[in-house]
Amino acid sequence: MKLNEDTALLSPKILLVPYDPHHVPTYHQWMEDTALRDATASEGLSIEEEYNMQRGWRLDPDKLTFISVIPPAIENETDKASIIAGSDDAASRMIGDVNLFFQEDDDDEDDESDEGMEDGDDNSALSTDLEGPRKIAGEVEVMIARSEYRGRGLGKATLLLFLAYVLRNREEVVAGLCKDGETATLSTLKVKINRNNHQSIGLFENVGFRKKTPGTTNYFGEYEMCVEMPLEQFQVHIDGLLEEYGMGNWRELQYDRSLPNGH
């Protein structure tokens, strides 16, 4: 989506930057690793397809992504006015990514049909005007691609910072999905994780996601996890975790592409 096109998120532990063309060669190299593709349920792509994918991440309103980067050394946090593309996020500093896919909140539709519909009623034609805002669910993915950086708290830092941004911009992240006259609301956040990926399950439990049906995986052997509390409350929870994790002073900064290759 366009929302974060010029936005970087800076914290003492991690820097998140928009996915730009200069990140593609490194990203493509990461995804050559079969284990990483399996863990993230990703397909192998050619470099041309990865450039197309990068354009999709930028333009499609149903996707939001950032690249996760080791932050530059900064003596005084407030001195840093912008993040310089190609320099602050040079290939050697890139470690992973985090993203969100938006889709209709099916669980919510199920609940409504259970409550309000009678046999034979067809709810497919109900106007969103009558129903109120469309309920949109966001599905999260996170990856620390460089294995030497795993297990150091950077997956958690990436996820917390991303969630804080999404929750702060709850209305804006779904606004691009609305046609004329429609409104939408982000109703829940969820994640699907392979049952053997204990690290990722532990990470998401740690920040407040819960298994929908503990002990049961879906057809693909994945646990489906979600945020059970209202997102207003989850935002307060995540802000508290960021404070505890020494990241409460994170800031949104301009992502500056005016210097070619950061020079």
**Closest-CA residue to 25 (of 76, 92, 122, 99):** 92
Residues 246/1, Cβ–Cβ less than 8 Å: no
Per rule CB under 6 A, is residue 99 in the interface with ligand COA?
Answer: no
Among 21, 44, 202, 230, binds ligand COA (CB under 6 A): 202
Per rule CB under 6 A, is residue 40 in the interface with ligand COA?
Answer: yes
Residue tagged 């593309």 (tokens): 85
Tell me whether residue 80 or residue 156 sits nearer to ligand COA (CB atom).
156
The region, left, alpha or beta by phi > 0 then psi within -120 to 50, assigned to residue 14 is: beta
Contact set for ligand COA, span 44-83 (CB under 6 A): none
Among 141, 189, 242, 247, binds ligand COA (CB under 6 A): 141
**Closest-CA residue to 152 (of 261, 14, 24, 34):** 14
Contact set for ligand COA, span 163-192 (CB under 6 A): 191
Per rule CB under 6 A, is residue 13 in the interface with ligand COA?
Answer: no
Tell me whether residue 45 or residue 178 sits nearer to ligand COA (CB atom).
45
The type of residue at 34 is T
Strand blocks (E) in the chain: 7-10, 15-18, 63-69, 82-84, 94-104, 134-144, 184-194, 210-211, 222-226, 251-256
Among 7, 12, 39, 112, binds ligand COA (CB under 6 A): 39
Task: Build a one-symbol-per-residue string for 229-258: x at contacts with ligand COA by CB under 6 A, - elsewhere.
Answer: ------------------------------
Among 9, 100, 166, 193, binds ligand COA (CB under 6 A): 193
DSSP 212: S
Interface ranges with ligand COA (CB under 6 A) = 36, 39-40, 141-144, 150-156, 191, 193, 197-200, 202-203, 206
